[in-house]
Amino acid sequence: MTLIAEAKAKKVLEACRLHHLKLATVESCTGGLIIGSLTDIAGSSDVVECGFITYSNEAKNRLVGVPSDMIKTFGAVSKEVAIAMAEGGVKHSGADIAVSVTGVAGPGGGSAEKPVGLVHMAVALANKPTLHFEARFGDLGRENVRHATVKRALDLVLEAIDKA
């Protein structure tokens, strides 16, 4: 983990502790890197509830309840699916807050409409509007897209907590 990601992860844990929030992650393109960045820090167990790795469309449906027809209509990499993932993360985990990410990390898989580097992120906080962010990192290489996603997702969690 980079020092920047570690510092952001520590801030997320501190903010969750301050607000007495349990956190869950629902990750597709990052494959567990977000929850890994949090659990790399000793003492994170008082904040981290669980993480869902929902890499396949079936996992998005089965584990966090993203409707299959939503995925067919909008695609797995979409605002609608990211929001449903985050909201499903809260519902299916018992956590107070959940962050989700779904995107095209590359090197393949992109299209003109959904290019490599496109990532949708959302943060759901119980009884608050769900935040969404669309990132277009560009074709930075798979590892760089995934790490940029982790950093931005952690920032989005902090934004959601600040707005609460």
Domain ranges of the chain: 3-163
Confidence at 4, pLDDT banded by 50, 70, 90:
confident
The conformation of residue 49, written as its DSSP 8-state character, comes to E
Q: How far apart are CA 105 and CA 138, in angstroms?
A: 9
pTM above 0.85, yes or no: yes
Instruction: Domain 3-163: give its CATH superfamily.
Output: CinA-like (3.90.950.20)
Span 100-133, pLDDT tens digits:
999 999 999 989 899 999 999 999 998 899 999 9
Residue 1 has pLDDT above 80, yes or no: no
User: Of 110 and 72, which is predicted with more confidence?
Assistant: 72
- Cα–Cα nearest to 124, from 77, 157, 162, 81: 157
